[in-house]
Amino acid sequence: MSEFVTCDLLDDNADKDIQVVSPSMDGKFFRSFGGKKAFGGQAVTVKCFEDNSRVKELLATDGAGKVLVVDGGASMRCALLGDMIAESAVKYGWAGVIVYGCVRDVDALTELDLGVHALGCIPQKSTRKGIGETGVTLNFGGVSIKDGAYVYADNNGILVSDAALI
């Protein structure tokens, strides 16, 4: 995907129905943790709470042109993505990962050719009990993200669209 700025994408596509992820009411903001500062693609959705089993499974599949969007319930108690799973994502061609929750191994994440946005970081890993739903519509940050929608992220924010913008 070519370089882009979400501000310009929004301005250039003013005639399209584009959702903008808002900071949550409790002051949680998405931050960039990956080596790729702007990333986008077709959303693959997963909803899981403090269990990254499905995240690990999905990021070990072909991710060309895709972004994994994870609704972790905004948990700040454990990370749903770390360096080893992120390295798998790079190996399988994923453009990025957006986590409504935490990540870990942040120094290693910044070295990877992968976009990563999350609410925060914590050294605690999650459990793996095989719990989580894939291919579901996610709701956070004032938007609904359907599996197969298009997401674009950079340091300005995150956009969601039913149609490709690039």
Annotated binding residues, written as ranges, equal: 82-85, 104-105
CA atoms within 13 A on the CB side of 156: 12
Which among 82, 74, 25 has a CA at the least distance from the CA of 50? 74
| Binding-site positions for Mg(2+) | 105
Neighbours of 164 (CB within 10 A): 13
| Binding-site positions for substrate | 82-85, 104
* Encoded tokens for 8: 């310009």
Torsion (CA) 38, 17, 73, 118 in degrees, nearest 10: 10
For 140, the 3-state DSSP assignment is strand
